[in-house]
Structure 1
Amino acid sequence: MAARAAGPAKTAGGERRGGRPRDVGLDERILRQTYALMVSNGYRGLRIDEIARRSGVPKSTIYRRWSSVAELAVDAVDTALGPRECESSPDPLADLSAIIMQAHSHVAASPIADALPRLALELAGHPEAAEAYRERVIAPLRNGAIDAVTRAAAAGQWPGPDPETSVDMMIGTIAYRLNYLGRITSLEETFRIAEAVARRRLPRATPAS
């Protein structure tokens, strides 16, 4: 798993905490072990004792960096998924196709797919972590897709619903299948869902090598 370094510890107001600089390598090790536990045991299986044991650190080291298991889980997922920024091109439908493939590989078909819905539900009791989850895990690909559909609609290439509704219909169908039917939607099925919403065929992006 390619880990990104967690940012400096901050208070609820966003200010950096004082003290010595954080050990980035230690942060990465804790995040890797947290992610590995989520893959094997799910979000409910996360235990600070076990994360600390696997990371080779005392529990106090983890609590100095993350105030709750929920915040640690968000950081671990965000780091594991890697960069998800969406670059725009002159072809908005090709951009949407690329985003669909990226979302499928990073989220729907990832080892953490089963744990993500439970994590989202558990975050209801942790407003700051829930907001971080929406902004860092969900928003990058969702906003990129909305932007692509918005540009396609402006160019007269989108006969489907308005951009935000269209994207949420796509996400909602896939999430329903995962959460209630226990099914991971294949990439081809994902494209068929998107095309049903779009009311047109979408280009198929070539997977990156």
Structure 2
Amino acid sequence: MIHKEGYKILISLFVLLTILTVVFAVWVPVVFPFVLVAAIVLFLLVLQFFRNPSRLIDSPDNEKVYAPADGKVVVIEETRENEFFNDQRIQVSIFMSPVNVHVNRNPIGGEVIYSEYHPGKYLVAWHPKSSTENERTTVVIDSGKHQVLFRQIAGAMAKRIKNYLKVGQQVEQGSEMGFISFGSRVDVYLPVDAEIEVSIGDKVQGNRTVLAKLP
């Protein structure tokens, strides 16, 4: 399945590449086969950016925090979260490479009690200041027992953050909450007494990998 965020980009790219290959076929036929192959490869690469595999959580459980994105765990540390909680939290960061699925999903279910977009820079996703200085969207979900904050962060390449959540909305664990075109990073902030189930360097999948168990 192709994600809706990719429709316009894929159609525009298809038209552009079709025109380009026709021009070469007519005016420079000797290189046409190479241009055609390059166009097909480029289109397939962009196509895979927007794939949207169906993933349901068999037994939703708000005592578990599922990965909101596919990627690699690059940060696990205790830090002060200053935008909403203003206290110590455990930060777990997932880096999304261009080859990962870019759909973002709700790590727990409950009520959206905070959702804020921040314009900003486009530092590389692994830069220490990307969490606070890059373009980003911060969301907090309250399950009734726990509150979990997660933040979509744009990077040097990813400059198209989409977030579909609104304050007051009730969401299910694992349902789609947004999309970051061409990768970047998602940070999750957990209570300090949460039991972390992943390690730095682990590859995780949205709705498949449990990041932590809540107290």
Provide TM-score, normalisation by structure 2: 0.30
Higher strand share: 2
TM-score under structure 1 normalisation?
A: 0.30
